[in-house]
Amino acid sequence: GQNIDQPTEMTATEGAIVQINCTYQTSGFNGLFWYQQHAGEAPTFLSYNVLDGLEEKGRFSSFLSRSKGYSYLLLKELQMKDSASYLCAVGGRGDYKLSFGAGTTVTVRA
Amino acid sequence: GAVVSQHPSRVICKSGTSVKIECRSLDFQATTMFWYRQFPKQSLMLMATSNEGSKATYEQGVEKDKFLINHASLTLSTLTVTSAHPEDSSFYICSASDGAPKETQYFGPGTRLLVL
């Protein structure tokens, strides 16, 4: 089975940094994905990690430790438009399916 | 690249009617497409996996006779909600996978279905 945990909500100030943690216990692993979803819209792809370490992409970075079943998404220089739900998803092995966490709602305040 | 379209974006229908939702990968071929539904403030729930030229694989608890899926080509999958009822009202989202090695799923914009 799949068990993916992430915090429900986080609040931060514009210009600050926020780190969203995700822990997972899955029967197979073929990569960890982060998606951003604004209210009423479909998710958009942010990042993909399959090897341990940090992947940086502009203001967003994602980290993976496979041995610990742990990932985080780091959002730097927060902007109001970053207010959204962030979904952690784990890819299975060979079947292309993703198992999603419940999502973390990030609210950026001025 | 990796654009997925979905049509219609919003539909309101009467109870008992059927509704068809189309999902297209616009700039890549997707051997696998996925259909999800999402209730307000909840995460995505996978309904079925759709493979081109073969029958869809449904997740446990999803009625295959109610949610008909047809993956007609490498760029088109359709979901038909048959005999819709108010409890079927939801946000339906499709995604298409770009295959190996990353198997990233790219999502369509979603279809909001309201059954009266």
d(CA B49, CA B59) in angstroms, rounded, equals 8
Where are any strands of DSSP class E within B14-65? 19-25, 32-38, 45-51, 57-58
Task: Count Cβ atoms within 10 A of the Cβ of residue A8 and give its class: 0-12 exposed, 13-18 middle, 19 or more buried.
Answer: exposed
pLDDT per position as a tens digit, A3-39: 899 999 999 999 999 999 999 998 778 899 999 999 8
Residue A31 contacts B, CB cutoff 8 Å: yes
Give me B25's structure tokens. Answer: 């990968």
CB pairs under 8 A between A and B: 51
- Among A41, A48, A101, beta carbon nearest to B104: A48
Q: CA of A17, closest CA in chain B: separation in Å?
A: 24
The whole-number average pLDDT for the span A75-94 is 92
Give Cα separations from B2 to A2, A9, A35 (angstroms).
27, 30, 15
Q: What is the pLDDT of residue A21?
A: 98
Binary contact (A87, B34; C-beta < 8 A): no
Question: Confidence band (pLDDT; 50, 70, 90) for B101?
Answer: low
Chain A interface disruption, residue of B41, B77, B105, most A CBs within 10 A: B105
- Beta-sheet pairing, B10-13 with A32-37: unpaired
Which chain B residues contact residue A4 at CB under 8 A?
Answer: none
Which residue has better confidence, A71 or B98? A71
Mean pLDDT estimate for chain A: 92
Which parts of A16-97 fold into alpha helices (H)? none
Q: CA of A44, closest CA in chain B: separation in Å?
A: 7
d(CA B3, CA B10) in angstroms, rounded, equals 19
Residue A49 has pLDDT above 80, yes or no: yes
The 10 Å Cβ neighbour count of residue A52 is 11
Residue B102 has pLDDT above 80, yes or no: no
